[in-house]
Amino acid sequence: MIRGILIGDISIDCNEPEKLQNFYGELLGWDKRILWGCPAIIKEGYLVILFMKPDEQYSVPIWPEMPGAQQKQMHFNFQVDDLQTAVSEAISLGAVKADNQYGGDDFVTLLDPEGHPFCLCRK
């Protein structure tokens, strides 16, 4: 273990950083800022998420994974009190319910507006 090490931020590659900043900012209720020249969301004293346009062309991840296709680069699992209400709210913000679902009554997999998979999980 490296003494004093903490996660400074999580960076997410995407084509439209401001669009994804708005989506996750609304989904989580976090403050929107510009940090280090990038759109970001922040929960004070907790975590920073940066949204970055890559130097090369961004490829939308394929989920579930397929050999030879762009693999997912991240996968958030968010715990929620009311799963179905949270799914409806996420969809109203621009998420799409993934065609393949494996969570039964415990979690629902969604895709954010840039195609990154994430799950809303029953607490």
Q: What is the pLDDT of residues 4-45, one digit of tens each?
A: 788 889 999 999 999 999 999 999 999 999 999 999 999 988
- Per-residue pLDDT, 71: 76
At 36-81, the pLDDT tens digits run 999 999 998 889 999 998 878 888 888 888 888 887 777 899 999 9
Pairing of strands 117-122, 107-111: antiparallel
Going from the N-terminus, what domains does the chain have, and what CATH number goes with each? 8-57 (3.30.720), 59-123 (3.10.180.10)
Rounded to 5 degrees, φ, ψ at 110 are: -125, 165
Query: What length is written for the chain?
Result: 123
Residue with tokens 């890559």: 54
- Per-residue pLDDT, 40: 98
Helix (H, G, I), strand (E, B) or coil at 26: helix
CB 82 within 8 A of CB 90: no
DSSP H stretches of helix in the chain: 17-28, 83-93
Say if pTM beats, i.e. exceeds, 0.85.
yes
For residue 107, what are its two tokens? 């979690």
- Per-residue pLDDT, 111: 96
